[in-house]
Amino acid sequence: MKSQKGGWHGGCIWVIRSDKHSGKSRAHWKESKMAKVDSIGWSHRKAVNAVIGGGCIAPTVILNITRCCTERCAHCAVSAIYGATVEKCADQAIRETEAGRELKLEQWLSSLDRLLDEAPATKFDLSGGDCLALPWVRHELIPWLVEHTSPSQVAVTATAATLRIWLAELARMVNYPRPGSVHITLDGCSEYSRDNLSIARDIRRLGMGIHAECPVTTNNVARDTIIRIYGDASDAGISEITLIRFFPVGRGALASGMLEPSPDEYRKAIRIWQELGRGCGPKIKFQCALKCFAQPDIQGACKIGPAAWCAMPNGTMLSCPWAYAQQGQPLHQDFVIGNITQSSVAELLANSVTSHMKTQVGTVDSCATIAYARLARINQEHAA
């Protein structure tokens, strides 16, 4: 967890399981992990020490299982590979796996098993692409993950096309392990956003919570649009809406001229959302990169660090889930913190603190990913 002042605190949920299982003392564990980061420097070691010294954190790891998707949104950060149907999308994903660009089920299972051994309270958000298009995600990965953690540690983000298939399967399997919550996109303008709303009640009927994420673009910053989205979410029984900033990364880099709101548009839209959120309908939350518009005096809203990581489809671990270049590659090496198939939690932790330090230096925008994306664009234009 990151404090407002920029210091790091152990969140006291992460229990180092190696204490119990291998007989190593916590002091020994800490000593060996600190030796690995010895070469990085005192201020870095101090930051890592603060986290390890707390003895516990519970990172949230977004698992971008595949880049294949049944949608082709203009703002897509991962530049998803389009499959017109769920089956075509699943076939695409098989080709990506065969080409070695995406991990297989066995690789995910062994990586997650190792990660959970070190950090059993880790929370996961399975995403993509459209991860539910892959039958092994619905039938094997999700049940395995819920059984090895708890429902409240697992969330799934997907599109209506694949959610419908999965919900129908779950309805037939009464005791099947299911995650605590489902995240849907609700931007008030795309077709699948309306579709997502139509299945909100089915999700709740199956005992899962539902959260909506609303990417803020020039298409939905007008007052009447915001009021409509809020009303629709309220009617569908959604308890929380997280507003997401537009990222000029991935495919979004090409659409930023059309879709990216100006700072003034962001501020006006956020004021309307804040007014609505004071009522008794859904609560409104602001994603880290939007907080500078919601609370102008806020310091240190960036979540790069030990609290939140993202696994790319090939296992590369990023310190920010939006740090993608145009073809699904990392935006910059400064955001790469390891690979889920090889890196220990301690290495990911140490590298995420390094990533925080590297990416915040000289970053004028409040969001490091957006600052790096803009710089990459300027460099490209210079090179052309």
Axis crossing angle, helix 160-172 with helix 191-198, rounded to the nearest 10: 20
Name the residue among 162, 173, 174, 172 with its Cα closest to residue 182: 162
Name the residue among 375, 346, 361 with its Cα closest to residue 35: 346
Cβ proximity to ligand SF4, 127 vs 153, nearer residue: 127
Identify the three-state secondary structure at position 337.
Answer: strand
Give the dihedral of Cα atoms 373, 132, 123, 179; nearest 10 deg: 150
Cβ proximity to ligand SF4, 128 vs 179, nearer residue: 128
Are the C-beta atoms of 298 and 4 separated by less than 8 Å? yes
How far, CA to CA in Å, does 357 sit from each of 58, 202, 334? 20, 44, 9
Cβ proximity to ligand SF4, 96 vs 130, nearer residue: 130
Cβ proximity to ligand SF4, 23 vs 362, nearer residue: 362
Cβ proximity to ligand SF4, 145 vs 292, nearer residue: 292
The residues binding ligand SF4 (CB under 6 A) are 69, 71-73, 76, 78, 80, 128-130, 159, 288-289, 302-304, 320, 322, 367-369
Name the residue among 69, 196, 62, 213 with its Cα closest to residue 129: 69
Identify the three-state secondary structure at position 362.
Answer: coil
Alpha-carbon span 310 to 75, nearest angstrom: 19
User: Which residue intervals of the chain are DSSP H helices?
Assistant: 18-21, 26-36, 42-54, 86-98, 105-118, 135-136, 142-148, 160-172, 191-198, 200-205, 223-235, 252-259, 263-277, 291-294, 345-360, 368-383
Alpha-carbon span 299 to 185, nearest angstrom: 28
Give the dihedral of Cα atoms 283, 284, 285, 291; nearest 10 deg: -150
Alpha-carbon span 92 to 108, nearest angstrom: 18
Cβ proximity to ligand SF4, 105 vs 371, nearer residue: 371
Alpha-carbon span 93 to 204, nearest angstrom: 29
Cβ proximity to ligand SF4, 234 vs 326, nearer residue: 326
Alpha-carbon span 93 to 87, nearest angstrom: 10
